[in-house]
Amino acid sequence: METVKEYIAKVGTEDCVLTPYIDLSQKSLLISAASILFNPTFWNIVARLEYKTHILTKIAFGKPYFGCYLLAVTIFSLGILRDYLYEQALRAQPTLAVLDTDIVKGVAAAIFIYGNVLVVSSMWALGVTGTYLGDYFGILMESRVTGFPFNITDNPMYWGSSLSFLATALWFAKPAGIALSVLVVVMYTIALKFEEPFTAEIYAKRDRERAEGKKDN
């Protein structure tokens, strides 16, 4: 790994736009940030468009499950691309020596494992449609999932993913990665501000319709 001192010696302090630890002149950093900004924005816009117009269901020949699977593949693929761009961005950034230790790597490994346990167990508990916004396609779960990992946090997928970003930054000892991890948390927090009340209203509407149906009977 290239240390901060080696990096400064190579490019000069005048080229370190923000600090000697984060080089904003690297296009790969900006591309990675753009990907982090894009992904949750994309799936929120597309999911709401589906809810209002059923556009993905129409593309999937009127089958909401197929439309949800199409969105799932798209979101998953964008996530893989985002993770690749993130790693490439880190490799172009200077390394902070104080983070480049076996202790930090051990902590990073533990955080990474825990984060991925949250993500994988969340997907297992929710299934494909529960994970990838099936609610917006009218594919609703009968009851709220309250077991692990949802008994730890309401949004294990998001926070597990955030921990994985942070763990990668610590493993490679890249301050730029820590900054990008903060951006991930900010974007997920904003996404939840839109998603949670909207999803809650979808289920509340379902419950109202069921209650009205019982009255009619």
Sequence-distant (≥ 6) Cβ neighbours of residue 101 within 8 angstroms: none
Considering only CA atoms, which of 108, 80, 83, 124 is closest in space to residue 169? 108
Neighbours of 217 (CB within 10 A): 5
Task: Write out pLDDT tens, residues 60-92.
Answer: 999 999 999 999 999 999 999 999 999 999 999
Task: Write out pLDDT tens, residues 113-150.
Answer: 999 999 999 999 999 999 999 999 999 998 889 899 99
Distance CA 15, CA 92 (A): 14
User: Domain limits at 184?
Assistant: 4-216
At residue 1, the pLDDT reads 53
Q: How many structural domains comprise the chain?
A: 1
Task: Write out pLDDT tens, residues 178-192.
Answer: 999 999 999 999 999
- Give the containing element (helix H, strand E) for 59: helix 55-59
- Given a cut of 80, whether residue 13 has pLDDT beyond it is no
3-state secondary structure of 108: helix
Query: Residue by residue, what is the 3-state secondary structure of 131-165?
Result: HCCHHHHCCCCCCCCCCCCCCCCCCHHHHHHHHHH
Residues 147 and 125: beta-carbon distance below 8 Å: yes
